Amino acid sequence: MALPFSNTVDRTLERLRHAFIETARGAREVVGAPLRPDLPDDDVPRLRGRIDACLEGKGGVTARRARAAELGEVYLSLSPVGRRKFLLTLAHDYGLPREAALAHVERWRASKEPPQALVKALEPPAVHLLREFVGVPQGVKFVVDLRAELMALGKSDAGARMLSEDLRPLLSAWFDVGFLDLVRIDWRASAALLEKLVTYEAVHTIRSWRDLKNRLDSDRRCFAFFHPRMPDEPLIFVEVALVNGMAGNVQRLLDARAETSDPEHANTAIFYSISNCQQGLAGISFGNFLIKRVAEELVRELPNIKDFATLSPVPGLRHHIDGRLKNEGDDALTPGEIASLVPVTNNKATGATAVRELLDKPVWWEVPAIDKALRPILVRFTARYLTSTDDRGRAVDRVAHFHLGNGAIVERINWLADTSANGLKQSYGIMVNYRYKLGDVDANHAAYANGRVVASREVRAAARI
């Protein structure tokens, strides 16, 4: 059932435009005729005039916010071509190039001004402009979305990329976790919010209203962070299953036909999906705080919950395995593993070639002999992958890096835990449990900060460490 993402986006844009139009009505001056949607070159000087008027900051707070809202409404009224020109003008004409920054530093050195004066001088004019939106209705959401567009544009334009990075400290301050509200979402939430859960779900697609209702049932929990200035927009949400023991198969966990269990009898909380909702907040982490806050909430509500763990994908695993087979050949396998493949292939293929051919067979995971031959090989590869670090001492898998940095341990590897098309595509169906022992979180975090991956005996044995 996945709802069209464009529906949610269109409603959000319309809400932003309406809020800006209402606020801009308080402006005392109207700056020229409307700019044309594609922002042709002869309209750009008039755009700069409007930006300059905002930066001059004449009048009181109300006037400044009204001018900012009017400029925001202009941006939202543009076509994709016009928005691109708007962003490039903002990034290149109102950024802070290195030469200008050095000049500010030299002027400050020659003066007797306090350090705060230098900090203020080094803020790019574009960032100063966008600060005004914090007091405009829907203005915070506008800046978040504008940064998302800058990040996309920054893939091909250095100025846009630099401005998107310049905005990160501003948004980090606006979205400090102390300002955020933790909200439990259930089936009684508004239809608009439920649609956003469907739209933003990034791990396991929500396929129907029945599927969504199952994820919000009495033996499930869904929590999200919200910002007071964006009360209708979740920033990040986590889905939790209340079960007995460590869950090891996502299809069974999400089976809408399964009987609902009594959460009072559950002893384990399984975090099976964490989804960031706002692209413009990339690089601003909420997930670590979210998991810990949710664990605290669950302990208060259900004291019988003693264990906290994830059932997580391993998104880079298939690429890693394929690379090892291709680049290392038979050296990637042990002699025992090579010998175990012979009965399955009847000597038609051996070693890494045999593994490759077996993995290329349709529905190989449903053939018991192939399953038996491949399981120890792929589990060993997985254990090595999850316990390996790069030259910075970080886990090579991004999901592992996230959870290990939060103080979890690599608890268990789950064979064929996700046999969906996506699960097979990214990790040959393998998933992993990261376990959060609340009393050990700080120590585990410190160990990982020093480059050591904390893993269970089972995982370390599988990796043969």
Active site residues: 312, 403
Q: Are the CB atoms for 404 and 410 separated by under 8 Å? A: yes
**What is residue 2's three-state secondary structure?**
coil
How many residues does the structure list for the chain? 465
d(CA 21, CA 14): 11
Q: Are the CB atoms for 35 and 72 separated by under 8 Å? A: no
- The total of other beta-carbon atoms located within 10 Å of residue 28's CB is 10
Inter-axis angle of helices 158-174 and 80-93, nearest 10: 80
- Determine if residue 393 is left, alpha or beta; phi over 0 gives left, psi from -120 to 50 gives alpha, anything else beta: left
d(CA 319, CA 364): 18
The secondary structure of residue 256, as a DSSP letter, is T
**What is residue 182's three-state secondary structure?**
strand
Q: Are the CB atoms for 222 and 186 separated by under 8 Å? A: yes
- Which residues does residue 435 pair with via DSSP β-bridges, in sequence order? 309, 409
Q: What is 274-288 written as a DSSP string?
A: EEE--GGGTT---HH
To which H or E segment does residue 322 belong? Answer: helix 317-328
**What is residue 181's three-state secondary structure?**
strand
- Helix ranges (H only) for 30-138 are 44-56, 61-77, 80-93, 98-110, 115-121, 125-131
Structure tokens at 6: 């464009």
d(CA 185, CA 217): 11
Residue 344: closest CA among 385, 375, 382: 375
Structure tokens at 443: 């120590």
What residues have CB less than 8 Å from 207, skipping those under 6 apart? Answer: 1, 2
